[in-house]
Amino acid sequence: MTKITKILIANRGEIACRIIRTARKMGIATVAVYSEADAHALHVEMADEAVLIGPAQASESYLKVDAILDAAKRTGSDAIHPGYGFLSENPDFVDKVENAGLIFIGPSAKAIRAMGLKDAAKALMEKAGVPVVPGYHGEAQELVVLAGKANEIGFPVLIKARAGGGGKGMRKVDNQADFPAALSSARREAKAAFGDDRVLVEKYVATPRHIEIQVFGDSHGNVVHLFERDCSAQRRHQKVIEEAPAPDMPEDMREAMGAAAVQAAKAIGYSGAGTVEFIVDASDGLSADKFWFMEMNTRLQVEHPVTELITGLDLVEWQIRVAGGETLPLSQDQLSINGHAVEARIYAEDAEKGFLPAVGRLLHLQFPEGDIRVDAGVRAGDEITPFYDPMIAKVIAHGTTRAEALGKLAGALGRTEIAGTVTNAAFLTRLCRDADFASGRLDTALIDRNIASLTERVTAPEVITALAVLAAYGMVGSGTEFPASVSSIGPFEIWGAPKRSVTLEIDGQNRSFTVEREAASDWRMAGEGLAAEGTRLEAVRRKGDDWSFAAKGISKRCRLVQNGTEVAVFHEGLTYRFGKPSGARADDLAAGGDQVISMMPGIVKQVLVSEGQEVKSGDPMVIMEAMKMEMTLAAPRDGVVAEVLVSTGAQVADGVSLVRLTGEADAA
Ligand code: ADP
Ligand code: ADP
Ligand code: MG
């Protein structure tokens, strides 16, 4: 047995953070590696030590074997955890790690090689007596041969890159006429992604469900399975929501699949965490004779938390213990399923616009509290860049029943507040509540079938738009205690009933509004898209980011955050984003504006004013340090400081409001 005392994590993001948490719990020191783009990343902050390994591009950093081994040597690490993606399934990396005298926390290079190519893996599994998807996985690659095999198999078929992963190089073909074109495009994609254009052809299983088995082996020949996960909620062959156990799984099928997966792992002398993926024909319900091996992923899987929640185990702890030479902590008959768990992957992507990947700096990030697990690798202020996977977080719920877990997950997604980039959170919430999905009638085509309702565009309610306008133009102060009743103050004329023309960007279009203050905290807004008589907001109050208002006699609350370019409103489980047209920003910055705004990301060195203080146009108000330069921000006009929104030492993003002056109208 080898005592592991320091682990280097050759990864980033949520999985690096996840591994660090378990290592810390076990009293093991951690080393992060990072690229230049990740210098301030959460995983770097969490680890005990961190080593810069190269520029942003993964090929120059997280995939640079020598730089990683050098970092391990310099920090005295005794083991390397590869996470998932990157080098996790690269057997040459495993060889080099072991040649350097380090422990690789994962299976042997030999086991990874055995499962690395889908065709060879299928042949091996066939020999081991594991049911494989009917199809052709031989040597021949000529069009005539493959087209002939497709005919024999019977359409529809699936062409797969043998080196495939992440759904790349995969094409479903419905008839013979489409086969040649599909083959060339699958080959092109496979060549570009994996440098290998060899393919196999499989029967496309009808009403497919993706059900996979988590397996675990140790170096003493023991293998157990930790039950199944259902990952049938997919888009473009990629998982969207995963759960455990599989809905409506018959006990004999669970046993048969578990046994097949253990058999697969034993056939290659597997040690550590792995997943055997099966495709299931669910056209006639689930039955023990209708599952077939697709592939084995020889690493920890993104969706491992659902297995952890139903078994009560820490799979990373098991990985570390097994890598250190221990026997498996539990035997098969000591393992059982408790309740149901569901995981959703929150990505920076625009579901309503064809799932276009997005980037951006996270202006605001708040996850729900309570009985919910969130695995995230970013915090507010971090940037989602085009260099890496745009996953922001995984939200995982556990319940006694599937309905309870799904309800919790939907609720948690609705309470997740993310601003600064668009996310798929609303799409995920709808999927949780989709009638087919909720009732367990799922297969891999469910999302495509229901895509219209799952990605329907929601326009912001008028009152939310009105509120965003007030916020964007800094018209409502924080904690300003106006008298509750307008009549106790008198007619609104004392505020001069100012009318202001403003613009706000909605869905990429600049829209004009006029805003009129009818009383201390009552507003009327008119403009395009609003009711003819205008939209009225009453009793508008705010305390920091928490707003309250009344519309048509109903009091409502919401949360609102903004920077110089964006206003995000979180209301009743949905996020509405508005763009501040450069006009609104210029308005604030120009003489006469209400706010002092940071011009670039930086640190507040000194706040020179306090609330209630009178200032003259041009008076210094805040000193910031940005890119090692000091800059002084001055008052945009004469006025009174209504609110100081930052304190010394605060890190602020570009375009953040630092100080608010009272507007003419506020000077009651
Ligand atoms: P899982 O079955 O665990 O969900 P995925 O196929 O989604 O696995 O991949 C897990 C992670 O690895 C994802 O973040 C994905 O972006 C990344 N990934 C998948 N394939 C590759 C690859 N060939 N090279 C690098 N990263 C990959
Ligand atoms: P990858 O390496 O990209 O994960 P897989 O072989 O695991 O490739 O397949 C990815 C997804 O494609 C599966 O989760 C499943 O939804 C679908 N799929 C794969 N093989 C079949 C098949 N024979 N019939 C129907 N769907 C399939
Ligand atoms: Mg797969």
Pick the atom of ligand 1 nearest to 165's CA: 20
Q: How many angstroms separate the CA atoms of 436 and 509, rounded? A: 36
Q: Nearest Cα to 547, choosing from 538, 534, 556?
A: 556
Supply the pLDDT for residue 661: 85
Ligand nearest the Cα atom of residue 202: 2
210 CB near ligand 1 (under 6 Å): no
Contact 202, 153 (CB under 8 A): yes
Contact 109, 91 (CB under 8 A): yes
Supply the pLDDT for residue 582: 65
Residues facing residue 291 across a β-bridge: 280
Q: For residue 156, how far is its CA from the centre of ligand 1 (angstroms)?
A: 26
302 CB near ligand 1 (under 6 Å): yes
Q: For residue 279, how far is its CA from the centre of ligand 2 (angstroms)?
A: 7
239 CB near ligand 1 (under 6 Å): yes
Q: How many angstroms separate the CA atoms of 221 and 235, rounded? A: 37
Residues flanking ion ligand 3, Cβ below 5 Å? 277
Residue nearest to atom 16 of ligand 1 (CA): 389
35 CB near ligand 1 (under 6 Å): no
User: ∠ at Cα 398 (392, 404), nearest 5°?
Assistant: 115
Supply the pLDDT for residue 405: 98
Q: For residue 247, how far is its CA from the centre of ligand 2 (angstroms)?
A: 19
Whose structure tokens read 């499989």? 202
Low-confidence ranges of the chain (pLDDT < 50): 480-497, 584, 586-587, 589-591, 664-668
Report in angstroms the alpha-carbon separations of 369 from 241, 343, 395. Answer: 20, 16, 11
* CATH architecture of structural domain 134-203: 2-Layer Sandwich (3.30)
Q: Phi first, then psi: give them for residue 609, nearest 5 degrees.
A: -130, 165
Ligand nearest the Cα atom of residue 231: 2
Q: Nearest Cα to 51, choosing from 20, 75, 28?
A: 75
Ligand nearest the Cα atom of residue 239: 1
Q: For residue 74, how far is its CA from the centre of ligand 1 (angstroms)?
A: 29
Q: How many angstroms separate the CA atoms of 441 and 21, rounded? A: 36
Supply the pLDDT for residue 595: 78
Supply the pLDDT for residue 627: 57
Residue 285 gets which letter from DSSP? B
Q: How many angstroms separate the CA atoms of 542 and 479, rounded? A: 6
Q: For residue 89, how far is its CA from the centre of ligand 1 (angstroms)?
A: 10
155 CB near ligand 1 (under 6 Å): no
Which tens digits make up the pLDDT trace of 199-239? Answer: 999 999 999 999 999 999 999 999 999 999 999 999 999 99
529 CB near ligand 1 (under 6 Å): no
Pick the atom of ligand 1 nearest to 297's CA: 2
CB neighbours of 414 closer than 8 A, spacing ≥ 6? Answer: 429, 572, 573, 574
Supply the pLDDT for residue 635: 81
Q: Phi first, then psi: give them for residue 418, nearest 5 degrees.
A: -130, 125
CATH code assigned to 6-105? 3.40.50.20
Ligand 2 interacting residues, C-beta cut-off 6 A: 133, 158, 160, 164-167, 202-205, 208, 210, 234, 237, 277, 279, 294-295, 444
Pick the atom of ligand 2 nearest to 135's CA: 23
Q: How many angstroms separate the CA atoms of 51 and 380, rounded? A: 23
Substitution site in 230, 302, 304 for ligand 1 pocket (most atoms within 8 Å of beta carbon): 302
Active-site residues, by number, are 299
Q: How many angstroms separate the CA atoms of 436 and 624, rounded? A: 54
Supply the pLDDT for residue 194: 94
Q: How many angstroms separate the CA atoms of 422 and 566, rounded? A: 11
Cβ-count burial of 496 within 10 angstroms (0-12 exposed, 13-18 middle, 19+ buried)? exposed
Residue nearest to atom 4 of ligand 1 (CA): 302
The residue extents of the domains of the chain are: 6-105, 134-203, 209-454, 462-579, 586-662
Task: State yes or no: cis peptide before 245, omega within 30 of 0.
Answer: yes
What is the four-CA torsion angle of 572, 575, 579, 580, rounded to 10 degrees?
50
- H/E stretch holding 103: strand 103-104
Which tens digits make up the pLDDT trace of 255-299? Answer: 999 999 999 999 999 999 999 999 999 999 999 999 999 999 999
Supply the pLDDT for residue 657: 82
Q: Nearest Cα to 246, choosing from 303, 183, 192, 299?
A: 303
Give 209-454's CATH code, choosing from 3.40.50.300, 3.40.50.970, 3.40.50.720, 3.30.470.20.
Answer: 3.30.470.20
pTM above the 0.85 mark? yes
167 CB near ligand 1 (under 6 Å): no
Residue nearest to atom 7 of ligand 1 (CA): 166
State whether residue 85 is helix, strand or coil.
coil
Substitution site in 15, 84, 232 for ligand 1 pocket (most atoms within 8 Å of beta carbon): 84
Residue nearest to atom 5 of ligand 1 (CA): 166
Q: Which two tokens stand for residue 414?
A: 């609705």
Identify residue 158 by its one-letter amino acid code: L
Q: For residue 209, how far is its CA from the centre of ligand 2 (angstroms)?
A: 10
Q: For residue 447, how far is its CA from the centre of ligand 1 (angstroms)?
A: 20
User: ∠ at Cα 528 (523, 529), nearest 5°?
Assistant: 90
How do 554-562 and 602-607 pair as beta strands? unpaired
Supply the pLDDT for residue 629: 61
Q: Nearest Cα to 236, choosing from 82, 519, 444, 523?
A: 444
Q: For residue 229, how far is its CA from the centre of ligand 2 (angstroms)?
A: 15
Supply the pLDDT for residue 401: 98
CATH code assigned to 586-662? 2.40.50.100
